[in-house]
A = this chain, B = another copy of it.
């Protein structure tokens, strides 16, 4: 049996995030639909377009390492998204829904940041600087998306959620 090394781990993680990105792409419209805050709707919609780009970058990385682009079910993203859907179910028609959606989106972004951070470090160690640069473009977009959610949460959303309580 061949001893598994970092390139096996890299490939396993690549399949994991490839699955995650595709799942996120399918989920973002539900999140956009669940909010009435225009800025948040717009953020989810725009991030969906970016996510399509993330999927394509991953396909380029698969090509670079001479492997077929393949998903591997990612229980982590399934769990994170299931919680987001639960938030929509439980808070869908309440004043807190948008706050919940911001938090759900941020949980997704943070998961991705952790995974891309690791992939980039491994790509560099494996001498794949072009793959590292490509993955870093995605990481930057995930970080920007997270920051935008924080801003929207602080300026556009939370006042609506607390307004009722102050009333």
Contacts and interface: CB of A to CB of B under 8 A. Distances in A.
A111 interface: yes
Given A9-B96, A114-B109, A165-B5, A83 B91 contact: no
A105 B120 CA distance: 16
Q: How many copies does the complex hold?
A: 2
Given A3-B164, A83-B16, A153-B121, A9 B111 contact: no
Nearest to A92: B4
Chain A interface mostly: helix
A42 interface: no
Interface in A122-167: 122, 125-126, 150, 153-154, 158, 161-162, 164-165
B6 A161 contact: yes
A100 B9 contact: yes
Contacts of A99: 6, 9, 122
A4 B90 contact: yes
A76 interface: yes
Interface of A: 3-9, 12-13, 16, 74-80, 82-83, 87, 90-91, 94-96, 99-100, 102-103, 106-107, 109-111, 113-115, 117-118, 121-122, 125-126, 150, 153-154, 158, 161-162, 164-165
28 contacts: A3-B95, A4-B94, A4-B96, A5-B161, A5-B164, A6-B162, A8-B94, A9-B96, A9-B99, A9-B103, A9-B161, A12-B90, A74-B83, A75-B78, A75-B82, A76-B82, A76-B83, A76-B107, A79-B79, A106-B114, A106-B118, A107-B114, A109-B114, A110-B111, A110-B114, A125-B162, A126-B162, A126-B165
